[in-house]
Amino acid sequence: MVKGNDSVSATANLSSRDVILDAARDLVASRGYDGMAISDLSSQSGLPASSIYYHFGNKLGVLAALLDRTFNELHALLPNPSSFDDRQPLERFEAWFTEACASLDQRPDYLRLLLAISVGPHKDAEVVRTTVRRIRDYAHASWVEALTPVFAANGGPVDEKFIEELAVLGRAMTDGLSLANTFDGMSYSAHAAPFITLIRGLAEQGGRGKA
């Protein structure tokens, strides 16, 4: 809700809260979190510092809200593995991962922000840890859901430990791709094929993936 003087600066389609988060996103991208002062955020957003404190409490609250909003935006883009249930397990995994990489290519700022926060000086703050953990748990669950049919032939017993390890590897690989995207300018999609080949090879080596 836009209140008082906020209506002067906020655009017709954005609340003052969104205007502040848009400004924070730009500042974090250009200066990093530590380089984003409340005074800078006020200047960038065109809103008074009192509005920032009202909505977020402090600068750390801005950071957590920005991360949470970015996740929600990306979540709307990312496919769910169950969307491809009409395909064979390996083809299902390939379709999911390919589309997920394409979604990340549309929002590379998401993983850059997540990575910066996860290793930054405020990573142990409760509000940050809670948000980051929720995001990473969601990513891990998606990997497990995508991989399980590949390594459970004909719906048979699932090697849960093996799938958990692969899910951790997949999530870590996605984290690493954010660095490759940032420093090498390479897209996430450009790295999809090698990982798909790895999963296919592991499945076929164990006589799986043909369910």
Residue 161 has pLDDT above 80, yes or no: yes
Residue 207 has pLDDT above 80, yes or no: no
Residue 10 has pLDDT above 50, yes or no: no
**CA 87, CA 147: separation in Å to the nearest integer?**
13
Q: Which two tokens stand for residue 79?
A: 């496919």
Alpha helices in 47-191 (DSSP H): 49-56, 59-77, 89-106, 108-119, 126-147, 160-184
pLDDT tens profile 34-88: 788 999 999 999 999 999 999 999 888 898 898 888 888 878 888 999 999 999 9
Confidence of residue 4 (pLDDT cuts 50, 70, 90): very low
Q: Which two tokens stand for residue 100?
A: 């997920």
Lowest mean pLDDT among 4-8, 31-35, 64-68, 92-96: 4-8
∠ CA 200-112-64, rounded to 5°: 120
Q: Which two tokens stand for residue 137?
A: 């748990």
CA distances from 75 to 29, 92, 156, 180 (A): 20, 19, 31, 22
Four-point Cα dihedral 58, 64, 66, 67, nearest 10: 160
Whole-number pLDDT of residue 209 = 44
